[in-house]
């Protein structure tokens, strides 16, 4: 039972890194990105083939590279690959497209990527994907399976904490304030000399880097990665967590991840089975997630933990200074 709980928490922490990355694009800038899990997949694939040995002796499976590199290098490589993919996609999609047109472009990218990687057997082993991935540091630490699960959970928590810290620094920086200004009124931000395209592209690359980290961790933990692991529904589930917790707010996003992507799946897993309906519980989970989105948008459109806005008392203080200054000037 303990190992089961640790495993669920580990997946939840990794998914938390992904939702934080998606929140940069959607919550900070307002760009509806439907290709996010495609960016995640690129990081997972590249990190995987950097870790795996050559496919020459794999019994018919084929993949590129096969470098047998240690996990830290594979992690950096996967993050870099996802960042470059986000840069390439964003440089085209963000230049002249916005809103619905940007979302449609990202959907097209995800569909093209899926078709290409599944049909090209020699790149990442087609539909079967990568398998036999070694869990990070398992051979070095020589831990038991139970103790290793705790170690990997701790590693993921450290990386989640580092991701949260870096994103919070960016959020309160001039860069983060510029992104939120673009989200609220891109025309006004441009009037004040802000290059909206360049800033949105930077944000997209930051989110892509987080996607790569989460992809490498998830593939390493599961030990495999194939096209069924990054279907379109996965991206919508991440949006569920963001809508539920509060878009733009990292703490709210993590709360939404805990509720929508950890607690609800685990609670529905314990429902009694109904003979002849093996796909019932995944469908129930998706319906519950959809109902949560509708309920939150209706009753709390800014989420359970809304993004912080300027404090009313600060506004009142600024407004209260004007009469005082006027009185002083008249004297």
pLDDT digits (tens, 9 = 90+) for 284-320: 777 877 787 788 778 887 888 888 765 544 544 555 5
Q: What is the pLDDT of residues 20-53, one digit of tens each?
A: 999 999 989 988 888 898 999 999 999 999 998 8
Among 217, 307, 292, 299, which Cα is nearest to 258's? 292
Q: Lowest-confidence range among 11-15, 80-84, 177-181, 183-187?
A: 183-187
Confidence of residue 328 (pLDDT cuts 50, 70, 90): very low
pLDDT higher than threshold 60 for residue 204: yes
Task: Give pLDDT, residue 276.
Answer: 67
Task: Give pLDDT, residue 236.
Answer: 85
pLDDT higher than threshold 60 for residue 91: yes
Mark residue 63 as left, alpha or beta (left: phi above 0; alpha: psi -120 to 50; beta: remaining): beta
Mean pLDDT of the chain: 84
What is the rounded distance in angstroms from the CA atom of residue 72 to the CA atom of residue 26?
29
pLDDT higher than threshold 60 for residue 228: yes
DSSP class of residue 64 equals S
Distances (CA, A) of 2 to 31, 142, 269, 331: 39, 20, 16, 74
Q: What b/e string do you get for 29-44 counting C-beta neighbours within 10 Å, with b at 16 or more?
A: bbbebbbbbbbbbbbb
- Mean pLDDT, range 214-230, rounded to an integer: 88
Task: Give pLDDT, residue 125.
Answer: 86
Task: Give pLDDT, residue 1.
Answer: 67
DSSP class of residue 32 equals -
Distances (CA, A) of 136 to 52, 139, 230, 328: 12, 8, 21, 68
Q: What is the pTM of this model?
A: 0.86
Residues of the chain with pLDDT > 70: what percent? 87
Q: DSSP states of 103-121 as a string? A: HHHHHHHHHHHHHHHHH-H
Q: DSSP states of 215-283 as a string? A: HHHHHHHHTEE-GGGG-HHHHHHHHHHHHHH-TT-HHHHHHHHHIIIIIHHHHHHTSPP-TT-TTHHHH
Confidence of residue 80 (pLDDT cuts 50, 70, 90): very high
Question: Which of 19-33, 133-147, 184-198, 288-302 is most confident?
Answer: 19-33
């Amino acid at each position: 039972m303990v190992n089961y709980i640790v495993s669920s928490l580990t997946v939840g922490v990794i998914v938390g890194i992904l939702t934080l990355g998606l929140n940069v694009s959607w919550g900070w800038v307002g760009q509806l990105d439907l290709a996010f899990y495609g960016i995640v997949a690129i990081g997972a694939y590249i990190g995987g083939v950097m870790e795996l040995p050559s496919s020459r002796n794999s019994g018919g499976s084929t993949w590129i590279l096969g470098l047998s590199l240690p996990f830290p290098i594979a992690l950096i490589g996967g993050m870099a690959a996802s960042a470059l993919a986000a840069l390439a996609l964003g440089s085209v999609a963000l230049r002249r497209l916005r809103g619905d047109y940007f979302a449609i472009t990202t959907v097209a990218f995800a569909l093209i990527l899926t078709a290409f990687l599944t049909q090209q057997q020699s790149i990442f082993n087609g539909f079967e994907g990568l398998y036999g991935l070694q869990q990070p540091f398992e051979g070095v630490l020589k831990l038991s399976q139970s103790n290793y699960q705790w170690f990997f959970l701790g590693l993921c928590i450290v990386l989640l904490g580092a991701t949260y810290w870096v994103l919070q620094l960016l959020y309160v920086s001039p860069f983060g304030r510029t992104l939120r200004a673009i989200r609220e009124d891109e025309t006004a931000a441009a009037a004040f000399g802000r290059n909206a395209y360049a800033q949105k592209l930077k944000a997209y690359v930051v989110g892509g880097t987080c996607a790569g980290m989460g992809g490498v961790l998830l593939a390493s933990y599961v030990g495999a990665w194939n096209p069924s692991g990054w279907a379109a529904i996965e991206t919508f589930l991440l949006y569920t967590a963001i809508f539920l917790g509060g878009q733009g707010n990292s703490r709210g996003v993590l709360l939404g991840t805990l509720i929508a992507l950890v607690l609800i799946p685990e609670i529905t897993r314990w429902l009694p089975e109904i003979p002849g309906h093996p796909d019932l519980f995944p469908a129930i989970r998706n319906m519950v997630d959809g109902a949560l989105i509708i309920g939150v948008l209706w009753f709390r459109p800014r989420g359970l933990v809304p993004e912080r806005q300027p404090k009313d008392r600060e506004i009142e203080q600024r407004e209260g200074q004007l009469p005082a200054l006027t009185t002083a000037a008249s004297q």
